[in-house]
Structure 1
Amino acid sequence: MEPKEKEPTALQKVLQKLGGKHTVVRDTLARLQEKSIKISQSALYQTIAGRSHSKEIVDVFLEVAEAEFERRRQVEERARQLLGAS
C-alpha cells in the first residue's frame, strides 16, 4: 500500500499560487515584528502547514498575501492600459 499524500492546507495553496518570487513570508514576519509578535520563519511555515493555529499569525499572513495579489492585479491592469494606449 502506498502512503497517501497529504492534501495541502488552504494557506499552503495560497503560498503556492504566489509562485516563487515573492516576499510574502518576509513581509509577514516583518509585520508580525511590528506588532511585537516574535516568530521564526520556521514557525511561520509550521502555521502555514496547519501545525499551529495562531489566529493573529494566520490573519497577518492572509493580509500580506491579499496585498500581494492586489498589487499584481494592479500591475496587470496598468500594463493593459499601457498596451491600449500605444
Structure 2
Amino acid sequence: MEAFPWIRNYPSGIPPEIKLYEYDSLVALFEDSFVRFRDRVAFENMGATMTYGELDELSKHFAAFLQNLGMKKGERIAIQM
C-alpha cells in the first residue's frame, strides 16, 4: 500500500514535499511569487485572466485604499467574494 497515493496524480513539476520554512510568512511567499511569476497567469475565470504582476498592482491599490480609510496595520477587515 502506498503511503501517499495522491502524489501520483500531481502534475509534472509539482514536488511531493513542501518546503515549510522557505518563507517567513505568507506575505513573503506572495511577494516572491509576484516577482518570479510576474508575467504568468495567476487566475483565470470565465475567460478573463489576471497575471501575478496585475494581482500585485491591484493588491497595492487595495492596501492604499484601506490606508486612506484610516485602517491601521493589524486591524481586521472582512472581504466578501
Q: TM-score, with normalisation over the residues of structure 1?
A: 0.30
* Larger Rg, first or second structure (1 or 2): 2
Q: TM-score, with normalisation over the residues of structure 2?
A: 0.32
Structure with the bigger RCO (C-alpha within 8 Å, sep 6+) is: 1
